[in-house]
Amino acid sequence: MEMGKLMTVGDLAEQLNASPSTIRFWVTQGRGPKSLKVGRRRMFRPEDVEAWIERQIEESA
């Protein structure tokens, strides 16, 4: 897996128009997309983010 394929908390926050602290809160509460730790950084695979967004859309319908 290439590092360029991973998203940071900041990347995800920008994509979702949310603050990085909101993203971190969601992750700690188990409500955000699946993530992984790379060193001390929380990272997200784009495919996990897309799957999470799709689930959010389905649950709100």
For the chain, domains (ranges, CATH) are 3-60 (1.10.1660)
Quick one: pLDDT at residue 2?
Answer: 55
Q: Which 8-state DSSP code applies to residue 2? A: -
Q: pTM (2 decimals)?
A: 0.85
Is the pLDDT reported for residue 1 higher than 70?
no
What is the tens place of the pLDDT at every residue in 11-25?
999 999 999 999 999
What is the tens place of the pLDDT at every residue in 39-58?
999 999 999 999 999 999 99
Name the E strands within the chain: 7-8, 36-38, 41-44
Q: What is the mean pLDDT of residues 27-44?
A: 95
Spatial CB neighbours of 33, under 8 Å, sequence gap ≥ 6: 12, 44, 48, 49, 51, 52, 53
